[in-house]
Amino acid sequence: MEQKETTLWDALRSGVRGLEKIVQWCVRLVARMLRLTFQRWWLVGIVTLLCMAAGVYYSRPSNKLYKVRAVATLNGPSVNEVADYYEALHKSFEAFYVIDCLHDGTADYVDYGRKNSLTDTTSVVMKDQIAFQFVTRNRKQIPWMEQQIMHCLNNHPQFVDEYQVYKLHADRQYSFDRDQVDRLDSMTAAFYSDAAVPQIQSNAWTLAMGRKEIVLPLKNIEDYMMRKAQRDSRYALTTAPVVLHGHFVPQKKAINGRVKCTAIGLIAGWLLGYLIAAFFDERKRIIQWLRLK
């Protein structure tokens, strides 16, 4: 007897039937939970109120938890080195990658959700940027904690050694750029001071001084000056192995907000109350099952 070939349509129908069974099971479960809640409303209600009260107590003002964040520039140490050391300082400390989507060397966002893949070529992890985060109850202690964190990071022997090598190269690059600008200034001054010819004509990037024609690479000079301005801005941040962009700033909303904790307490209390009520309803069968040898 030949077996009937399974077509795509048959597979879809089988998947739909399976989905229908799952939906029906969920509906029956919710209906049973509602029925038992109605029958044992006093038990479920007490447990729910207790859990909601616990949520309100956990979210009291003196126990509010806040995420505190900051972004920093690294001068020498690698992102992974700093991240591993920072997270080892305290269990609530976390470090995150800074992502450059446009590949232009400018940070676009911080991957706080840890959704970026290292194999994703469309989003580049910046090698000299990192984001820090920690959790605290006392926002008044944030400046002190910032001071302690930066002291640990900027006095780590390995980071200091890597910074010294990086700073030496940055100083040489800065001196080279400064010398090139001085030469460009001298060259431009020489061109115009030597213009004894009464008639000077300019056309695009060419300067005609009488019979003498001089080609000025003005576009290249302009591009160079723009790149130099970017390097100068970056050089201003080479004051330590790790340099913060501003300060650690707490998030406006607490992690354990009143509404959030109360809602979680409501849902958890209802589920816990249902389980307790179900145990009371089925206690005889459960006890008999436990007594089986």
166-178 pLDDT per residue, tens:
999 999 988 888 8
- Per residue in 51-67, pLDDT (tens digit) is 999 999 999 988 999 99
At 181 the pLDDT is: 75
For residues 51 and 84, state if they share a domain. Answer: no
Residue 3 lies in a domain: no
Residue 212 lies in a domain: yes
At 198 the pLDDT is: 47
For residues 124 and 198, state if they share a domain. Answer: yes
- Per residue in 109-127, pLDDT (tens digit) is 999 988 876 666 667 889 9
- For 117, list phi and psi in degrees, rounded to 5: -100, 140
For residues 34 and 89, state if they share a domain. Answer: no
Residue 285 lies in a domain: no
Residue 53 lies in a domain: yes
Number of Cβ atoms within 10 Å of the Cβ of 240: 20
Please give the share of the chain, as a percent, with pLDDT higher than 90.
44
For residues 86 and 112, state if they share a domain. Answer: yes
For residues 261 and 177, state if they share a domain. Answer: no
For residues 241 and 153, is the Cβ–Cβ distance under 8 A? yes
Residue 32 lies in a domain: yes
Residue 281 lies in a domain: no
Residue 41 lies in a domain: yes
Residue 287 lies in a domain: no
Instruction: Report how far residue 138's alpha carbon sits from residue 213's, in angstroms, rounded to the nearest whole number.
Output: 71
Structure tokens at 190: 């020489």
For residues 151 and 176, state if they share a domain. Answer: yes
- Per residue in 242-264, pLDDT (tens digit) is 999 989 999 999 999 999 999 99
At 1 the pLDDT is: 44
Question: Residues 220-248: what's their mean pLDDT?
Answer: 86
* Lowest model confidence (mean pLDDT) among 87-96, 127-136, 209-218, 284-293: 209-218
Instruction: Report how far residue 203's alpha carbon sits from residue 213's, in angstroms, rounded to the nearest whole number.
Output: 11
For residues 78 and 209, state if they share a domain. Answer: yes
Q: According to DSSP H, which parts of 40-122 are helical?
A: 41-58, 79-89
At 6 the pLDDT is: 62
For residues 18 and 99, state if they share a domain. Answer: no
For residues 162 and 25, state if they share a domain. Answer: no
Q: Which run of H or of E encompasses 100? A: strand 94-100
Q: Let me know how many helices (H) and strands (E) the chain has, helices first.
A: 8, 9
For residues 105 and 215, state if they share a domain. Answer: yes
Buried b (16+ CB within 10 A) or exposed e, 49-74: eebbebbeebbeeeebebbbbbbbbb
Number of Cβ atoms within 10 Å of the Cβ of 28: 10
Residues 6+ apart with CB under 8 A from 272: 47, 51
For residues 197 and 210, is the Cβ–Cβ distance under 8 A? yes
For residues 121 and 232, state if they share a domain. Answer: yes
Q: Which domain holds residue 124?
A: 65-250
At 202 the pLDDT is: 47
* Residue carrying the six token digits 């070529």: 121
Residue with the bigger pLDDT between 40 and 213: it is 40
For residues 217 and 156, state if they share a domain. Answer: yes
At 180 the pLDDT is: 79
How many structural domains are present in the chain? 2
**Is the predicted pLDDT of residue 132 greater than 90, yes or no?**
yes
pLDDT band at 194 (very low <50, low <70, confident <90, very high): low
